[in-house]
A = this chain, B = another copy of it.
Amino acid sequence: MERAARPDATTIAELGESAVLARILPRLAPGDSTLLGAGDDSAVVAAPDGRFVVTTDMLVHGPDFRLAWSTPFELGWKAAATNLTDVAAMGARPTALVVAIAAPPAMSVAVLEGIADGLREGLARLAPGAGVVGGDLSASSVLTIAVTAFGDLEGRVPVLRSGARIGDVVAHAGARGTAARGLALLFAEGVDDSGEPDAARARDVRARHPELVQAQVAPEPPVAAGIVAALAGATSMIDVSDGLARDARRVAEASGVGIDFEGRTLGPDLRVALAGAEDHGLLATFPRGSRVPEPFEAVGRVVDEPGQVLVDGERAGSDGWDPYAGWDGRSG
């Protein structure tokens, strides 16, 4: 994965919008579903299914990321990855993204180039064939990235949060708590003496814990597993963005059932596995007796406890698995 932005100090304001776009657009691959790409009033995307799935997510410097901790490349990668997982969680194949970026005029153009490179490589790795089909560039004092992602259901019924049935197998694909452990390290050790994010100290943290930091700043969610789950008959599915416990509760509430995790399947640190946000794994349910498809692993059972999340049959408190609320990337 390319990490370093080019050492180009030209600012966005110096170059101007048209010239900036001329440097960014060639870095983006068009994608197999792009019928008309950037350059007109709108783009045109293929939707062979006659429907398309769509999700949008905005990343804001401060609450959602820090340039002291993430390279521009990683920002672009993560912006793609988080949206692609929301498409995957419907059982759809990602087809395209549009990206709106607001950036400070005095920011180096290299930051935008790095974001574009990360978007391209994130798409290539996580959703081959999907491309960036359009975008917008604005000025703001706060670097802000809004991605909208599209997917094709290929004739399938979308997999909703509301379809879990009592007796279903609960299964999970992806990391469990790794991204949160990386973020905890950055908050604890990637800051200066006043607590502000610090690039040099963050580099030290990376050197000691490369996998944990990587999972936070450039996650590799199991995007392809979304279609696998749909084809295997998944009854429900959700992108685990806020932690297994919180997102399992969403499935439990939408489906009117309970989710009972088998504690031993979740690894040595149960609390982190359940509470850790931003792993962007997929939590799905499959009919009783069905074989859980790889890369999913069975982690529990759907039970008759409407709206509840349990571990080994005991109820998890509504905030009992939330020790990270103060630093899970949602607060400044």
Q: Is A90 an interface residue (CB 8 A)?
A: yes
Shortest C-beta distance, A214 to chain B (Å), equals: 24
From B40, B43, B58, B87, contact of A161 by CB (8 A):
B40
Q: Give A79-114 interface residues, CB cut-off 8 Å to B.
A: 85-87, 89-90, 92, 96, 98-102
| Copies of this subunit | 2
Shortest C-beta distance, A77 to chain B (Å), equals: 19
- Cβ–Cβ < 8 Å partners of A52 in chain B: 44-45, 47, 52
Q: Is the CB of A98 within 8 A of B56?
A: yes
Shortest C-beta distance, A48 to chain B (Å), equals: 6
Q: Is the CB of A60 within 8 A of B90?
A: no
Question: Which single residue of chain B is at the shortest CB-CB distance from A59?
Answer: B138
Q: Is the CB of A42 within 8 A of B63?
A: no
- Cβ–Cβ < 8 Å partners of A85 in chain B: 41
- Cβ–Cβ < 8 Å partners of A161 in chain B: 39-41
Q: Is the CB of A146 within 8 A of B56?
A: yes
On chain A, the number of residues with a Cβ less than 8 Å from chain B's Cβ atoms is 66
Q: Is A55 an interface residue (CB 8 A)?
A: yes
Q: Is A171 an interface residue (CB 8 A)?
A: no
Shortest C-beta distance, A218 to chain B (Å), equals: 20
Q: Is A57 an interface residue (CB 8 A)?
A: yes
Q: Is A35 an interface residue (CB 8 A)?
A: yes
With A50-B50, A54-B98, A60-B138 known to touch, is A42 a contact of B144 (CB < 8 Å)? no
Q: Is A141 an interface residue (CB 8 A)?
A: yes
Segment touching B, from A22-30, A117-125, A128-136, A288-296: A128-136
Q: Is A232 an interface residue (CB 8 A)?
A: no
Q: What separation, in Å, do the CA atoms of A323 and B73 have in the docked complex?
A: 38
Segment touching B, from A148-156, A177-185, A267-275: A148-156
Q: Is A266 an interface residue (CB 8 A)?
A: no
- Cβ–Cβ < 8 Å partners of A49 in chain B: 47
Q: What separation, in Å, do the CA atoms of A141 and B138 have in the docked complex?
A: 16
Q: Is A140 an interface residue (CB 8 A)?
A: yes
Which residues of A approach B to under 8 Å, CB–CB?
35-36, 39-60, 62-64, 85-87, 89-90, 92, 96, 98-102, 133-136, 138-142, 144, 146, 148-151, 153, 158, 160-162, 237-239, 254, 330-332
- The 23 sampled A-B contact pairs (Cβ below 8 Å) are A40-B90, A40-B158, A40-B254, A41-B86, A41-B90, A42-B86, A42-B90, A42-B151, A43-B54, A44-B51, A44-B153, A45-B53, A45-B54, A47-B51, A50-B50, A52-B52, A54-B133, A54-B148, A56-B148, A58-B144, A60-B144, A62-B140, A102-B144
